[in-house]
């Protein structure tokens, strides 16, 4: 085993592009994993800061759903042993519930993170993809799969613009 595998800092600053204040344009399927093709659009804001020498970051979100705004946070932590990030979500509507982590890394400018969860009583796979990263913009997409990852339904897209 070499030192690199025990202390992989190559991705430690992958989320530094997201530090600061953002406005967010959301698009979300009205129903997930139901064959729905109708999207709803709404706004929001996000602020991200780094902690623990860039090994952790947290963001504070205001999500302006048509049915009413709520707040949420992402907690990202970087594992120096694996060189991977884990992302967890907590939202003010369910403050004692932290969603299971999605885990992954950036490669060639695209971050892909995978995990498992339960949606409406059935097991699913979850995929987050960060792409189109520029100094003042970025895109995040969430997709679900209920067939073990054979097919994916993108159900939420967030377009970030630096505030």
Domain count for the chain, please give it. Answer: 1
Q: Which of 98, 107, 83, 111 is nearest to 15 (CA)?
A: 111
> Mean pLDDT over residues 40-52, rounded?
97
Question: What range defines the domain where residue 49 resides?
Answer: 3-162
Following DSSP, what letter does each residue of 65-112 receive, concatenated? Answer: ETTEEEEEEEEEEEETTTTEEEEEEEETTSTT-BPPPEEEEEETTEEE
Residue 91 belongs to a domain with what CATH number?
2.40.128.20
- The partner residues of 125 in beta bridges, in order of sequence, read 116, 145
Q: How confident is the model at residue 161 (pLDDT cuts 50, 70, 90)?
A: very high
Q: For the segment 119-158, what is each residue's pLDDT rounded down to a tens digit?
A: 999 999 999 999 999 999 999 999 999 999 999 999 999 9
> Mean pLDDT over residues 62-79, rounded?
97
**Residue 3, H or E segment:** helix 3-6
Please give the model's pTM, rounded to 2 decimal places.
0.92
> Residue 36 CA to chain centroid, in angstroms?
22
What integer pLDDT is reported at residue 8 of this predicted model? Answer: 73
What integer pLDDT is reported at residue 1 of this predicted model? Answer: 37
> Mean pLDDT over residues 46-58, rounded?
96
Q: Which of 20, 65, 28 is nearest to 44 (CA)?
A: 65
Q: For the segment 93-127, what is each residue's pLDDT rounded down to a tens digit?
A: 999 999 999 999 999 999 999 999 999 999 999 99
What integer pLDDT is reported at residue 70 of this predicted model? Answer: 97
Instruction: Kindly give the pairing relationship between strand 102-107 and strand 122-134.
Output: unpaired
């Amino acid at each position: 085993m070499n030192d690199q595998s025990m202390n992989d800092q190559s991705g430690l600053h992958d989320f530094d592009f997201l530090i600061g204040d953002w406005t967010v344009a959301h698009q979300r399927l009205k129903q997930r994993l139901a064959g729905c093709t109708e999207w709803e659009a709404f706004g929001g804001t996000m602020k991200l800061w780094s902690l623990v020498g860039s090994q952790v970051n947290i963001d504070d979100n205001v999500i302006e759903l048509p049915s009413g705004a709520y707040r949420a946070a992402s907690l990202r932590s970087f594992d120096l042993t694996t060189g991977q990030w884990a992302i967890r979500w907590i939202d003010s509507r369910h403050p004692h519930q932290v969603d299971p982590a999605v885990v992954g890394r950036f490669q060639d400018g695209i971050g892909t993170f995978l995990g498992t969860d339960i949606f409406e009583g059935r097991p699913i796979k979850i995929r987050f993809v960060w792409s189109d990263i520029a100094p003042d913009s970025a895109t995040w997409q969430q997709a679900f799969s209920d067939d073990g990852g054979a097919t994916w339904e993108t159900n939420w897209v967030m377009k970030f613009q630096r505030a």
